[in-house]
Amino acid sequence: MSRAFNFSAGPATLPESVLRQARDELLEWRDAGASLVELSHRGPEFMQVAAEAEADLRTLLSIPDDYAVLFLSGGATTQQALVALNLASPGQAADYVVTGHWGRTALKQATPYAEARVVASSEAGGFRDIPARGDWRLSADAAYVHYTANETIHGVEFREVPDVGAVPLVADFSSSIAAEPIDVSRFGMIYAGAQKNLGPVGVSVVILRRDLLERAGQPRAPIFDYAAHAKAGSMLNTPPSFNWYLAGLVFKWMLAEGGVAEFARRNARKAALLYAAIDGSGGFYRNEVAPAARSRMNVPFFLHDDALDPVFLDEARAAGLISLKGHRALGGMRASIYNAMPEAGVQALTGFMQAFQGRHG
């Protein structure tokens, strides 16, 4: 078996030790006589797995007790609609800071339910920067302010949590959760699809300040109601138990590796190495994002001649480096270097990039 270094943006590479453990545990869960995938989510086996996953995530992210943690199906996009349904009254203003494709998607998902307003956008500049906080035109009566902590496609990342006063801050952390320590108490709500930094696709994590569970929001079925999910321990209906379990293994792996502070150090080194390779290539490679807003998780880059793109991808694959093709919205290349991408993977990529330039430059 030869596992390549996989730079996919999501579903993304997972720690090999986690995959091996899941493989070993798949056929029969301990002495339960069946696989965890085959057992009731309300049985003692899964209930323990679920409780441990929540406890481990709380430890990893230092989540205060006055925040509920939900494990839900539906992906991050579903949360983008549920935010408005749960936190905004019909027609109430909701402020959106749009710094890339996913901020635009969040806005679109909220629009049927709330008076979703773009209060700042970097779209005119091609989503290559973050609008200065002083230029945001926040509404005093907004239900919440939404932003995308890390734009997976455009490779733009907030380095600081913006101060928006008393209005609850809602953030899409799908592609940067657990990449560095965060002060959860600054947020009303954080959500993330698991398939980048937390585990497999099929489960989302929602971290929600408990007082916001009291908001009336909009008329909605119980299945779209965060308070109902919180009351039911995320088991209002059958939860995505295998995905939840696998995310739990990733949490244990992150804790054993030293927690998010350690990943922040590794991620900083990986990103510095890759951006240095791009910037030091004399224009052979380029990244167009303003340096202060460059993502440490998703690094889009372009070759000076796009006719070389397919050659780059073929030769990279032959060198054991896969999933480097850029998102169709941007073209070029993109290397996603989440927590589970080892530093050796980024070293292999930058070594390959230099050698490729030597052959084709």
Please identify which of the residues 29, 56, 95, 102 carries the catalytic annotation: 102
What contacts 295, CB < 8 A, 6 or more positions away? 150, 151, 155, 156, 157, 175, 176, 271, 289
Residue 102 is a catalytic residue: yes
Do 196 and 7 contact (CB within 8 A), yes or no? no
Residue 92 beta carbon to ligand PMP: minimum distance, rounded to whole angstroms: 23
> Which residue lies nearer to ligand PMP by CB, 77 or 139?
77
| CB of 6 or CB of 175, closer to ligand PMP | 175
Residue 259, interface with ligand PMP (CB under 6 A)?
Answer: no
Two structure tokens written together for 250:
């990733």
What does each C-alpha distance from 172 to 77, 262, 298 come to in angstroms? 10, 22, 15
- For ligand PMP, the closer of residues 188 and 193 by Cβ is 193
Nearer to ligand PMP, 61 or 156 (CB): 156
β-pairing, 115-121 with 150-151?
A: unpaired
Question: Does residue 174 belong to the site contacting ligand PMP (CB under 6 A)?
Answer: yes
Among 5, 71, 96, 102, binds ligand PMP (CB under 6 A): 102
**Contact characters 281-300, ligand PMP, x per CB under 6 A:** --------------------
Whether residue 337 contacts residue 299, with contact meaning beta carbons closer than 8 Å, is answered with: yes
Q: SS3 letters for 262-277?
A: HHHHHHHHHHHHHHHH
For helices 241-257 and 16-26, the axis angle rounded to 10 degrees is: 140
Write the interaction track for ligand PMP spanning residues 126-165; mark x where CB under 6 A is met and - where it is not.
Answer: ----------------------x---x-------------
Min dist CB 189 to ligand PMP, Å, is: 14
Tokens of 105: 């998607």
270 given a catalytic annotation: no
320 contacts ligand PMP (rule: CB under 6 A): no
Q: Work out the angle at residue 328's Cα, subtended by the Cα atoms of residues 196 and 206, and round it to the nearest 5 degrees.
A: 30
**Measured at the alpha carbon of residue 150, what is the angle toward residues 146 and 151, in degrees to the nearest 5?**
95
| Burial group, residue 257, by CB count within 10 angstroms (0-12, 13-18, 19+) | middle
172 binds ligand PMP (CB under 6 A): yes
Among 5, 6, 7, 10, binds ligand PMP (CB under 6 A): 10
Q: Which is nearer to ligand PMP, 148 or 350 (CB)?
A: 148
- Please count the residues of this chain forming the interface with ligand PMP, following the rule CB under 6 A: 11
Question: Distances in Å between the alpha carbon of 309 and those of 23, 285, 333, 348?
Answer: 36, 11, 8, 18
Min CB(152)–ligand PMP separation in Å = 3
323 binds ligand PMP, rule: CB under 6 A:
no
Q: Is beta strand 67-72 parallel, antiparallel or unpaired with respect to 204-209? A: antiparallel
Q: Which of 56, 95, 172, 225 is catalytic?
A: 172
Q: Which residues bind ligand PMP (CB under 6 A)?
A: 10, 75-77, 102, 148, 152, 172, 174-175, 193
Q: Which residues are known catalytic residues?
A: 102, 172, 196
